[in-house]
Structure 1
């Protein structure tokens, strides 16, 4: 893998039983009579069992006798399947150094529109995310026919440096710094000037109301924050059960809408 370059964050431009009885039931005389008959019938062989005080003691059966009496086991042996290894949980530090690994290389141009936006993809040092893997998600999202390129106006291309936009995965603390004066409370993402800042907590864990759809949430947050960079503002849920607009603040709530990652679903 080509080592990723390091780049310091720059200031933005623009604006989660009961106890068992120990006594034994008395047999009585009838019980002893039955025992005597049983012993005569089997040649005084004594079946091993729970002996109390005064019980007759006989020779223990040999292991071979036990196996012959029991016979071979006819129950199939079931080997339990091994449990799958749990997916490692990413460890997100609260703060980072404010320097970023820039994904090298560039993507193909996505879209045919005349308004072309270049971008870099950068991951803050110390985060457990591979910049190349992050860039692959960003590239695929912006090149998807349901993304902003569907309007025929916009086009996107990732570059190794000096892009129009910096798409950053940042620790909560660095997110707060880059998003100021907007207060992101260490929890949410923002677009501030040419910085599209995605909080590492959201990139790693999404939000509960996305019902475990981490890939879908990542697509949403990319399209939402890039939408702000294109001049789009927030909109409301049009009605309960409707598909959420991508510019709805879905990180906070769906407001009765269905989750949606795309500007043009």
Structure 2
């Protein structure tokens, strides 16, 4: 079977095509679906195995990045979303999608009931970068030991681009300790980058995230969010030094999407 992936769109989404291509490259069938088609019932979320919330500036980042789309998801499709999670399916949020998942409470994780009456708390946030500006650069990531389905067997270091103004992951000391103890930190910004900076923290950690966190998952490992863009590094020609370095044909981002497809194929076959 081919996994079915729903790539979510709304006003301001601008990385949906790249995310669609990435999942197709990994062997999935994909559909680009506007949030209003889920809200109206025109499209049934249960028909899909993976929900991908791509990057961009949903609703122009009004109020705060990702918050309006998060509100729609929490209050307009909550029951369908909770059932999707309860069915053991996968969710990935990239950049703005990560911001959405954090603001819905799906990351770092949440207790919820099946009757749709529970309130979903937000337990972390993605705040303005400490540089107080939009950061668009490539970063080194260090893969952490985690339960994340999307990063199983992945190499220890990845090189991916970031492009955000509100990417600073921050949470209370208790939540950070919980993430550590339950192996929910998936990627950290690698401050020992082979492309060093004058300042060991910035820009290697481009936003000032607590504990250098670049990506996290929930306790099941099936819900994953990250600020860097794996869909923007699918082939060596996406790499900024492809003319100067001997690079493999496949970009570092592909493995993340392939892991998701392989997991669904094995689990739902």
Task: Report the TM-score range of the alignment, normalised by the length of the smaller protein.
Answer: under 0.3
State the TM-score, normalizing by the size of structure 2.
0.26
Structure with the larger strand share? 2
Larger fraction in helix: 2
Asked which structure has the greater CA Rg, the reply is 1
Greater relative contact order, per chain length (Cα 8 Å cut-off, separation 6+): 2
